[in-house]
Structure 1
């Protein structure tokens, strides 16, 4: 019986860890896409960092990550199309996951 409870606890711990890592990866991706978009908008330094944080906070507005795309798309209207933004989001998610694994 203890073996089953130990196994159950291990699965719960792994699930919690995986969820935490996923959250961190998306938050980092959102910051990175925010910095990319800020550069596209001509923002640098503290202004770029502030914009990146706006993008991170946009992800908390509703369930899912579509609001991040909508914010970036609205802000970059005419400067980047949907394919460019979505491919950059995918690219930066991979980069964010790699950075987190290196830490």
Structure 2
């Protein structure tokens, strides 16, 4: 194998690893958000987590989760609060993944 092939393989491996870490972080973030929202709504944590995870599969990214949270938390949290909580949960999720 040439040096170029080795580098190409290394870049492909890093890309796959980074994509996997991002997927895990988004999944963990969704669970953290569900925990927060379920407490605000007084809903069962398991049931609400399932609802939020189902909403997360509508499209790539977290916009679908945001829309569901905005609809569910109307009157309990505004959009800015939800965005701030999403950023906080993503940072916490990434830290948890990095810690192993």
Q: Does residue 86 of structure 2 align to residue 89 of structure 1? A: yes
What TM-score, normalized by structure 1, do the two folds share? 0.92
Structure 2 counterpart of 1:65: 62
Which portions of structure 1, spanning 4 or more consecutive aligned residues, are displaced by more than 2 angstroms?
Answer: none
* Structure 2 runs not aligned, ≥5 long: none
Structure 2 residue matching 1:6: 3-state secondary structure: helix
* Structure 1 runs not aligned, ≥5 long: none
Structure 2 counterpart of 1:31: 31
Cα deviation for residue 63 of structure 1 reads: 2.6
What TM-score, normalized by structure 2, do the two folds share? 0.94
Alignment coverage as a number of residue pairs: 100
Cα deviation for residue 95 of structure 1 reads: 0.1
Q: Is the 8 A contact 1:25 1:100 kept in 2?
A: yes
Q: Does residue 42 of structure 2 align to residue 42 of structure 1? A: yes
Aligned CA RMSD, in angstroms, stands at 1.1
Superimposed CA distance per residue, residues 6-34 of structure 1 (whole angstroms, 9 cap, x where no aligned partner): 11000000000000000110111011001
Q: Is the 8 A contact 1:31 1:53 kept in 2?
A: no
Superimposed CA distance per residue, residues 14-65 of structure 1 (whole angstroms, 9 cap, x where no aligned partner): 000000000110111011001100000113xxx2122112212211112332
